[in-house]
Amino acid sequence: MKYRSRRARKIRRIVIALFILAVLIVLVVLFHANATRVLKSVAEANMRSITTVAVNDAIYYTLSDEMRYEDLITVHRGPQGEIDAITSDALQINRIARDTAYMSQQNLQTMSESGVDVPLGAFFGVEAWAGFGPKIHMKIIPISNVSCRFVSKFEEAGINQTKHSVYLEIVADISIIMPSGSSNFASLTEVLICESVLVGKIPDTYLQADLFGGGYSLSPPA
């Protein structure tokens, strides 16, 4: 009887120890998952801010001189003043898109080299604590792909008048590699380059088509 009693107590202690170990493993896994999620969120927010500044600086550098509508667009009219065709300066457009993509890429690499500062509270995996505590510096490896394209938009501006606006869209696809995991997001920036009010009927082929065709994409070197 004593042997069976001791054996039963031993088995019970083993079961309790295994149960406690399983609970601890589950708590550690949950803590790691929550902490990773919050850390990714904080790092992504910091990287979005860096991306916005990097792209805006690239736009300011590329378009430092005042851009006029006539510098990009040529409106061809017929003998009666009607609009026959609208053409764009492909060389100038490609130059702006290429330079903006290149400068955005360079700015992102330079500005992200220093890493990001994450509050200590973010490591506990509770979003409410993510903004509290001293800053802890984290090294990140950003991988970015920047693409630029011009967008043409036509809007009615009055009787027989159409406002033609030219925008530059910059899309930055960012992948962040951190010790806690990786995160991916895209940032879209749209900037008005120039606009003009055209008098006369615009051919439907221009109202419905993409005046500028494709865009310019710059990926990180392999």
Q: What is the pLDDT of residue 185?
A: 80
Residue 97 tokens, joined: 């898109």
The structure's pTM equals 0.67
Provide the CB-side half-sphere exposure for 160 (13 A, CA): 6
Question: Where exactly are the structural domains of the chain?
Answer: 45-116+139-218
- Model confidence at 35, pLDDT cuts 50, 70, 90, reads low
**Would you tell me how many other CB atoms lie within 10 Å of the CB of residue 210?**
12
Q: Is the pLDDT of residue 221 over 60?
A: no
CB 107 within 8 A of CB 57: yes
Q: What is the pLDDT of residue 86?
A: 82
Backbone angles phi and psi of 98, in degrees to 5: -65, -50
Q: What is the average pLDDT across 175-195?
A: 79
Q: Which residue has the tokens 């149960």?
A: 19
- According to DSSP H, which parts of the chain are helical? 2-62, 69-72, 90-112, 204-208
Among candidate residues 150, 153, 162, the one with its CA nearest the CA of residue 191: 150
Residue 198: exposed, middle, or buried by beta-carbon count in 10 A (0-12, 13-18, 19+)?
buried
Q: What is the pLDDT of residue 146?
A: 85
